[in-house]
Each structure stands twice: as C-alpha cells, then as structure tokens.
C-alpha cells in the first residue's frame, strides 16, 4: 500500500513537467514544419514526443500530444504546404496523421500499463507472502509456547508418556517454523528482494567454518567430515553470510543422505573461478531426477522410500544464492555411488591470492 500512494503523489508533478516539455517540443517541431513546409520528413520527429508522452505519463497526455501533432501538421500544410495544388490534401493528411499518432500512443501506453500492472502484481505477491507469514507466525507462537510451557513442567509435573508426546509435538512445531522461514527466504530470493553485501572473501575459510558447524551432528551420526582444500586459491567477491548458507545447505543435504562413511569437502581453482565440491556417500540420484533436485519443494513430491526430513527448499535456495552471485551450481551423481554437489564463484578481479591474506592473518596472530 505505501508504495502505491507514494507513486500516486509523485506522478502529477513529474507528469506536468514532462507534459509541458513535450508540448513545447511539439510546438517547436510544428514551427520548423511551418517554415520549411517539409512535413513528410518530420513524421518521425513528431512520433518522438508522442511515444515519450505515452510511455512516461500515460494515455491521456499521449493522446493530447497526438492531437497537437496532427494540428501542427494541418497548420503547416495549410500555410506552408506550397506544393499542394488541391485543398483536400491538407485536412486528409491531418486525419491520417491523427489516426497514425493515436494508434502509436495507445499501443505504447497499453504496454506501459501492462508493465505497471505486472509490477503491482509482484508487489501484491510479496505483500501477501509477508502477510501470510505474519498471520502464520502468531498462531505458531501460541502453539509453540503452549507446548513448551507444559513440556518443561512450568505448569505442573508430567508423566513420562505425556512428556514424550509433547516432545514430538514440539519437534514438529519447530519444523513448521523452519519451513515457514525457508519459504520466506526462497520467495525473497526468487523475487530478487535480496541485497548482497559483497566482500572479498576466502572461500576456504568459509568452508572451514561451515564444516566446523557440522562436525558435531556428523559425529553423532557416525559420519566423518573430511576437508581437502586447494592451496593458494584466489579470493572471490561474495556475500559471506549467503555463501555460508549455501555451504550449510549443501552440507546438511549431504549429511542427511549419508548413513555411514564420510563427507568430503574440496575446493579447487577453475578457469572461470573457484569451485567448492561436496561429496557424500548417500544413495545417489538417478539421471532422470538430477535435473529436478534444485527445484523448490521437489523432495516433498518425491516418493523414493521414506520421506526425508526437511523442506526440499535447501538446494533451491542454494541455487538462487549462487546464481545471484553470477556463479554456477551443479550436481554429479550415480545411483549407489553417492553424489557430488558443487558450485563455482567468479574470482574477484583485483583480489590478491588468498595465501597473502593468510600470511597477514598469521602475522597478526
């Protein structure tokens, strides 16, 4: 709502100024036309203010300018058109040019209207998502806190069975809250309502931090996280928070599907940037499904055995973030041989090699 009122308030002043300038332009062209009597050559020139008028300030000004153009043409024909020997030609010329200009103005303003409508619809969509998320959050808050307050014994002692059921309820409420967050994140990324805070970063460092975060959950599952990072990789320009999220999504995906063995995270130099690869020892992905893994909500729709925990948005979010950085994300996999997810970020042009920065860090320590 605020965006549209702002538009409405800004438009009249701007349209008035533009309209006046364009009318002046039409009058100027009309005068030149009148003095030279050479209107055919000026058809294109007349079209410019009409097109601009229709484009910037809508059909009404566009039509007014079309009328003015045709009028100027008529005047030029009557007073300056020395070449005509029949009196019918000037008005006929004026009618044809009016029709011509009106059509041009209508067509352009219709396109402009469609564009505006599209922008409005996009605004409505993001407003709707924000509203829905708020409307969902409040009841979710009550359910979560209602369960918590009983489950932690604040409102009286519980039996073991009651506690177990409440724990199940709590786990699922938390899952619902996470899903809500992910849907919102995904929607914002899809609508490109995300600003990247670009810094020059060392991908290896981000990988190490992300891997440290997964050491404990992996250990609990009996899976090892192994790092195999390339030396002297160039720095990349990226939003470290967002890339950390990509790494975390890829690692959590790898951990989810790896029942035993190890997850290996590698980094390497590529001709077009720096690539990070995450190898898992999961069941792998069949060729037909490879194209679908980065689509949102894919997992929810798949029926490969037991439904895995999660929202199915993690990889879609990772893809959006990497593409927002101008990078590429991909996967290689064969059923039974595990999968390798990888993404490549372009190298920062003026970036010194990472080892210099590492050396600086060491000196500071």
Partner 1 sequence: MVAENREPRRILVVEDEEDVACLLRARLEANGFEVFVEGEGRKAVQLAQAVRPHLVILDLMLPDTDGYAVSENLRRQYHSCMVPILMLTARTQSTEKLYGFGAGADAYMTKPYDAAELLGTIRQLLKDAGID
Residues that bind partner 1 (CB under 8 A): 133-134, 137-138, 140-146, 148-149, 152, 154-155, 173, 177, 181, 184
Positive or negative, the Cα torsion across 196, 201, 207, 208? negative
Nearer to partner 1, 146 or 213 (CB): 146
Nearer to partner 1, 188 or 270 (CB): 188
Nearer to partner 1, 145 or 259 (CB): 145
Closest CA to 246 of 283, 284, 209: 209
Residues 95, 100: Cα–Cα separation, whole Å = 9
Q: What is the CB neighbour count within 10 angstroms for residue 273?
A: 20
The least distance separating partner 1 from the CB of residue 152, rounded to whole angstroms, comes to 7
Q: Residue written as tokens 């009328």?
A: 67
Nearer to partner 1, 181 or 199 (CB): 181
Closest CA to 150 of 133, 176, 173: 173
Residues 119, 109: Cα–Cα separation, whole Å = 15
Q: In what order do the strands lie in the sheet with 223-229?
A: 223-229, 261-270, 273-279, 339-345, 328-333
Residues 6+ apart with CB under 8 A from 218: 224, 225, 255, 263
Q: What is the CB neighbour count within 10 angstroms for residue 103?
A: 11
The least distance separating partner 1 from the CB of residue 172, rounded to whole angstroms, comes to 13
The least distance separating partner 1 from the CB of residue 1, rounded to whole angstroms, comes to 14
Residues 6+ apart with CB under 8 A from 333: 284, 285, 290, 339, 340
> Could you give the 3-state DSSP secondary structure of residue 296?
coil
The least distance separating partner 1 from the CB of residue 138, rounded to whole angstroms, comes to 5
Nearer to partner 1, 11 or 122 (CB): 122
The least distance separating partner 1 from the CB of residue 207, rounded to whole angstroms, comes to 25
Nearer to partner 1, 174 or 259 (CB): 174
Backbone angles phi, psi at 324, to 5 degrees: -60, -30
Nearer to partner 1, 142 or 215 (CB): 142
Nearer to partner 1, 137 or 266 (CB): 137
The least distance separating partner 1 from the CB of residue 140, rounded to whole angstroms, comes to 5
The least distance separating partner 1 from the CB of residue 132, rounded to whole angstroms, comes to 11
Residues 217, 132: Cα–Cα separation, whole Å = 33
The least distance separating partner 1 from the CB of residue 166, rounded to whole angstroms, comes to 13
Q: Are 336 and 348 in contact (CB under 8 A)?
A: no
Nearer to partner 1, 21 or 149 (CB): 149
The least distance separating partner 1 from the CB of residue 178, rounded to whole angstroms, comes to 10
Residues 144, 138: Cα–Cα separation, whole Å = 10
């Amino acid at each position: 709502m605020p965006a549209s009122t702002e538009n409405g308030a800004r438009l009249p002043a701007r349209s008035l100024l533009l309209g006046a300038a364009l009318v002046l332009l039409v009058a100027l062209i009309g005068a030149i036309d009148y003095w030279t009597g050479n209107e055919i050559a000026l058809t294109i020139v007349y079209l410019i203010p009409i097109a601009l008028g229709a484009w910037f300030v809508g059909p009404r000004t566009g039509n007014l300018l079309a009328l003015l153009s045709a009028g100027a043409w008529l005047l030029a024909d009557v007073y300056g058109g020395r070449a005509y020997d029949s009196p019918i030609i000037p008005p006929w010329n004026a009618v044809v040019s009016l029709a011509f200009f009106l059509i041009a103005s209508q067509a352009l303003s219709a396109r402009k209207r469609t564009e505006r409508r599209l922008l409005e619809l996009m605004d409505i969509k993001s407003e709707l998502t924000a509203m829905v998320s708020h409307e969902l959050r409040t009841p979710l808050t009550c359910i979560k806190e209602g369960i918590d307050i009983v489950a932690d014994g604040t409102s009286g002692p519980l039996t073991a069975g009651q506690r177990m059921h409440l724990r199940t309820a709590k786990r699922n409420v938390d899952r619902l809250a996470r899903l809500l967050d992910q849907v919102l994140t995904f929607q914002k990324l899809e609508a490109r309502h995300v600003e990247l805070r670009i810094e020059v970063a060392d991908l290896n460092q981000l990988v190490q931090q992300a891997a440290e975060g997964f050491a404990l959950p992996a250990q609990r599952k009996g899976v090892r996280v192994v790092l195999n990072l390339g030396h002297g990789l160039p720095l990349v320009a990226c939003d470290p928070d967002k890339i950390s999220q990509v790494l975390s999504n890829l690692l959590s995906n790898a951990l989810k599907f790896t029942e035993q063995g190890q997850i290996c995270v590698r980094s390497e130099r590529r001709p077009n940037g720096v690539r990070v690869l995450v190898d898992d020892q999961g069941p792998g992905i069949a060729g037909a499904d490879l194209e679908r893994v980065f689509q949102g909500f894919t997992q929810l729709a798949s029926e490969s055995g037991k439904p895995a925990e999660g929202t199915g948005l993690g990889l879609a979010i990772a893809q959006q973030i990497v593409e927002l950085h101008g990078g590429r994300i991909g996967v290689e996999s064969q059923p039974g041989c595990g999968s390798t997810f990888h993404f490549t970020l372009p190298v920062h042009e003026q970036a010194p090699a990472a080892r210099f920065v590492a050396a600086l860090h060491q000196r500071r320590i």
